[in-house]
Structure 1
Amino acid sequence: MHLTLGFSPCPNDTFIFDAMVNNKIDTNGFTFDTNLEDVETLNNWAIQGKLDVTKLSFAVYLKVRDQYELLNSGSALGRGCGPLLISREEIPLEDIKNKTIAIPGENTTANLLFSIAFPEAKNKKIMVFSEIENAVLNGDVDAGVIIHENRFTYQLKGLKKLMDMGEYWEQTTGNPIPLGGIFIKKDIPAEKRAELDKLIHSSLQHSFSVYPELSSYITSHAQEMDEKVMRQHIDLYVNDFSLDLGQEGHAAVNALMTAAEKTKR
């Protein structure tokens, strides 16, 4: 079966999908047209129903759940891995509502978590996640919500953490942070959806079996990172929840969906 597949070029996603898209394991007859894109691009494509299987921010789930089903394998969900609110200078949290904040996409979980923590903050500037640090440094925005590898680089640039959005979520709900998951079109036969879920699980197991070795597929798509940062990225975002969301993972996703519905009111 041939499927269109989308995920980000970030090390956590290439680590998960490397074995199955590069035929390092038996794909059980599945072949893939692979698209590596920024997660907000993938979010927008999913709203259009463009891809068969795709990585998505959990925040966009409400908009696509009539077309897509969440798979158990491949998610980025955990503790201590949420987006950070950063700035050049200290800003009292009560003043955030009056500031210009860079966000890495309207449909991202980062924006949703920020909106939950700061519901009155409306002056947002949508940017590609990799541009936010420099926008804060240059004074184009007052603060920014950073994700991915920027968690490991912002301090090197002299930027300050104002709030850990994931920590706020964990403290207020008790749940781990659901960042992104792998979704599949509901019109694909149920047995094929189940087979693909198992294939993603096997692909990730293969990558774990050779880790901390990093394949050229992973390193070539993370060109601006050194290998230490790539491994930090993988260690933070790939875990047991990535192998199988399980009851705790699904409960966290449901809690986020409930919070998302409340922020829309």
Structure 2
Amino acid sequence: MNIAYSPCPNDTFVFHALAHGLVPGAPKLNVTYADIDITNNWAAAGEGPEVMKISYAALPWVLSEYKLLPCGGALGRGCGPLLLTNSSETDSNTPEALAGKRVAVPSERSTAYLLFRLWAARHVPGGVGEIIVMPFHEIMPAVRDGKIDAGLVIHEARFTYPSYGLTMLTDLGSWWESDTGLPIPLGAIIAKRSLDTDSIADWIRASVDYAWTHPDESRDYVMQHAQELAPEVAKAHIELYVNSFTANLGDDGYAAVTALLGRAAEEGLVPSFDLSLLR
């Protein structure tokens, strides 16, 4: 089975058992490691592997061909994207100060960018200026070096941004949770509707269970792909992004996805679609 997911610790932790033939009855995996911006574009174009990790925000473009699986993804609380600047001055580190500025984002169809657009519509008078898409690991250096005015970051950047001398302007996940009371939908696992998606979901859930039961077995695999992260950062990353929603979205998870994409569709930020396709 062909699958694409990121080299981030949460994905390699979740898929370790499946990728290494440790899930009984599951097929051999042919794994492609790809940034979320790449898989978002693959899915929208109908290209790429049969199973992929994409942003929840990219679902409206792909649900006719792909089914959202109820496990394996990233959704939770206290784990949302951060908006960073290189200024600690109060008057220049406010939402209003972003008006007309250059902001880097990890993908035009990322959940991070969608949350940013929903937030900015309420908090940045006149809107921001230029939006620049770049791989997420390049964003903090670009903000630090003054190449851009602000950067939207995800994943382990939550733990490492102070080392770049950056300041958090806002935590978009906290804003979303306070605004809706719901968890934050980040990364989704999708599979071609022509496949046996129930079996694929069972295999992924078994891989999650194996990872939790044997947490040390995946360490070498995780660190091999962790882009030079310190072990303690990789561990914190996994603890934050791999949670009960990874095993099963459940009613709260589906409610969060429906709220995010329903609101975005109402505001014209994503194509209108049949929300029942989320199930």
Do the structures match in fold with TM over 0.5?
yes
Deviations 1:22-49 (A, max 9, x none): 11221x1522221110011010111122
CA contact (8 A) 1:88 1:143 kept: yes
- Structure 1 stretch displaced more, 165-174 or 210-219: 210-219
Distance 2:252 2:158 in 1: 25
Deviations 1:52-85 (A, max 9, x none): 1110100000111111111111010001000000
Corresponding residue number in structure 1 for 2:45: 48
Deviations 1:99-144 (A, max 9, x none): 1111011111110010000032242111110000000011000110
| Unpaired runs of at least 5, structure 1 | none
Corresponding residue number in structure 2 for 1:60: 58
CA contact (8 A) 2:55 2:110 kept: yes
The match for 1:84 among 74, 82, 96 is 82
Distance 2:52 2:191 in 1: 7
Question: Which amino acid is 2:39 matched to?
Answer: L
Distance 2:77 2:114 in 1: 17
| Residue 95 of structure 1: how far off its partner (Å) | 2.1
The match for 1:160 among 159, 167, 176 is 167
Distance 1:4 1:214 in 2: 20
Corresponding residue number in structure 1 for 2:33: 36
CA contact (8 A) 2:26 2:203 kept: no
| Unpaired runs of at least 5, structure 2 | 122-126, 270-279
Question: Which amino acid is 2:143 matched to?
Answer: V
The match for 2:108 among 96, 106, 130 is 106
TM score, norm. by length of structure 1: 0.94
CA contact (8 A) 1:212 1:231 kept: no
Runs of 4+ in 1 over 6 A off after TM superposition: none
Corresponding residue number in structure 1 for 2:219: 215
TM score, norm. by length of structure 2: 0.90
Distance 1:259 1:104 in 2: 21
Question: Which amino acid is 2:51 matched to?
Answer: V
Corresponding residue number in structure 2 for 1:71: 69
Corresponding residue number in structure 2 for 1:254: 258
- Structure 1 186/113 Cα, relative in aligned 2: closer, same or farther at 3 Å? same
